[in-house]
Amino acid sequence: MNANFARRDFLRIGASTIAAGATSTRLLSAAEPAPPRKFRFVHLTDIHVQPELGAERGFRKCIAHVNELRPRPDFVITGGDLVMDCLKVDKARIERLWKLYDDCCRDFDMPVYNTIGNHDIVGWADDSPISPSDMDYGKKLFADRAGRGKVYQSFDFGTWHFVLLDSIGQKPGSRDYLPLLDDKQIAWLKNDLATAAAGKPIVFVTHVPFYTAYMQMALGSNSLPGDKSMVSNAYTLRKDLLKHDLRLVLQGHVHVRERIDYGKISYIQSGAVSGQWWKGPTLGEHPEGYSIIDVDGDSFTHHYADYGWQAVKA
Ligand SMILES: [Zn+2]
């Protein structure tokens, strides 16, 4: 409902359990209730909020849809590309976009955990008007305004462990981005999984997909994903990840509804709140929407919610 509610709720749920770059342990006192076995959360990705095409109204409609769900979601995870674009625009536009995002998010009745996307990064494009020496260049603005000071972090809810990843690396010798988990993050992740996540079912949230069949579906059976449509080192991480109880990888970036179950891991792409950048359903077949995840014990169910947005004519 308002910032104070969300802040208070975050402090209650998150402050003692959030583990960013460090292990987090907490002993339950006799007075504290056991962690919930059943809970619900939503995954909203590729929001791309902007002043144009009714996007603010669309995002607020989506938020109202989330708030009205019953059972009520315990928290919201966003999947990146929260604002239309910070890669190629000037500072006034960037400030306007983030202010819009902040203003809309005050409508949520529950805590929000944000994941970074490529379009949330300031100036990572050769034709950006922002200099690499600018204090806001790169990921700092996301960390300060949406990431509680971090670009990747983890937290616990119930008996589950959630990891919000930064899937956006930088192309060597370039200002351009390249989807990957960098070495520093991988070292942090290995430690986090071995300590904070030990014994718990794990959810990863990554903006760029680890896996997708998007290209084969949209462009042709033998089409391969380009170097910007999948995390390039997901394959090399796989063996390590299989040692842990990773159940679910929530993905975005490609704006399609997709679920790949491979072995014990489900890779779910949650469409896009913005559809095709607020111009209608993506490729005409993936409506504007988001994922609802219901956890019961150590299993989950998933469904996609179309919140009923109709694209506005430009
Ligand atoms: Zn993206």
Cβ–Cβ contacts within 10 Å for residue 310, how many?
A: 11
Q: Residues 27-32: what's their mean pLDDT?
A: 62
The CA–CA distances, whole Å, from 147 to 78, 80, 90, 169, 241 equal: 11, 11, 21, 17, 24
In a domain, 26, yes or no: no
In a domain, 19, yes or no: no
pLDDT in tens, 236-291: 999 899 999 999 999 999 999 999 999 999 999 999 999 999 999 999 999 999 99
| CA–CA separation, 272 and 286 (whole Å) | 8
CATH number of the CATH domain containing 260: 3.60.21.10
| Centre of ligand 1 from the C-alpha of residue 153, in Å | 19
* Total count of domains within the chain: 1
| Centre of ligand 1 from the C-alpha of residue 302, in Å | 22
The size of the chain, in residues, is 314
3-state DSSP call for residue 63?
helix
Over 80: is that where the pLDDT of 71 sits? yes
pLDDT in tens, 287-312: 999 999 999 999 999 999 999 999 99
| Centre of ligand 1 from the C-alpha of residue 253, in Å | 4
| Centre of ligand 1 from the C-alpha of residue 47, in Å | 10
In a domain, 24, yes or no: no
pLDDT in tens, 130-178: 999 999 999 999 999 999 999 999 999 999 999 999 999 999 889 999 9
Please name which of 260, 259, 286, 258 lies closest in space to residue 273, comparing C-alpha atoms.
286
| Centre of ligand 1 from the C-alpha of residue 66, in Å | 22
Fill in the amino acid letter for 258. Answer: E
| Centre of ligand 1 from the C-alpha of residue 182, in Å | 17
Cβ–Cβ contacts within 10 Å for residue 63, how many?
A: 22
Fill in the amino acid letter for 118. Answer: N
What is the predicted pLDDT for the residue at 34? Answer: 86
In a domain, 310, yes or no: no
What is the predicted pLDDT for the residue at 5? Answer: 38
What is the predicted pLDDT for the residue at 313? Answer: 84
| Centre of ligand 1 from the C-alpha of residue 12, in Å | 31
| CA–CA separation, 312 and 251 (whole Å) | 26
In a domain, 27, yes or no: no
Question: Residue 33 has which token pair?
Answer: 């209730």
Q: Is 186 exposed, middle or buried (0-12, 13-18, 19+ CB in 10 A)?
A: middle
| Centre of ligand 1 from the C-alpha of residue 167, in Å | 10
Contacts of 203 (CB under 8 A, 6+ apart): 160, 161, 162, 163, 247, 248, 249, 250
The CA–CA distances, whole Å, from 62 to 15, 168, 210 equal: 27, 26, 26
Fill in the amino acid letter for 91. Answer: K
Cα 309–312–314 angle (5° rounding)?
Answer: 155
3-state helix, strand, coil in the chain (%, to 5): 25, 25, 50
What is the predicted pLDDT for the residue at 35? Answer: 86
In a domain, 251, yes or no: yes
| Centre of ligand 1 from the C-alpha of residue 82, in Å | 9
Over 70: is that where the pLDDT of 19 sits? no
Over 70: is that where the pLDDT of 24 sits? no
What is the predicted pLDDT for the residue at 14? Answer: 38
Q: Is 275 exposed, middle or buried (0-12, 13-18, 19+ CB in 10 A)?
A: buried
pLDDT in tens, 169-225: 999 889 999 999 999 999 999 999 999 999 999 999 999 999 999 999 999 999 988
Q: Residues 97-110: what's their mean pLDDT?
A: 98
Range of the domain at 263: 3-14+38-305
| CA–CA separation, 277 and 275 (whole Å) | 6
DSSP 148: T
Over 80: is that where the pLDDT of 10 sits? no
Are the CB atoms for 86 and 79 separated by under 8 Å?
no
DSSP 201: -
Over 80: is that where the pLDDT of 31 sits? no
What is the predicted pLDDT for the residue at 225? Answer: 83
Are the CB atoms for 41 and 75 separated by under 8 Å?
yes
| Centre of ligand 1 from the C-alpha of residue 119, in Å | 6
| Centre of ligand 1 from the C-alpha of residue 36, in Å | 33
In a domain, 206, yes or no: yes
Question: Residue 134 has which token pair?
Answer: 């600018």
Over 80: is that where the pLDDT of 128 sits? yes
Q: Residues 79-89: what's their mean pLDDT?
A: 97
What is the predicted pLDDT for the residue at 1? Answer: 40
| Centre of ligand 1 from the C-alpha of residue 24, in Å | 30
In a domain, 69, yes or no: yes
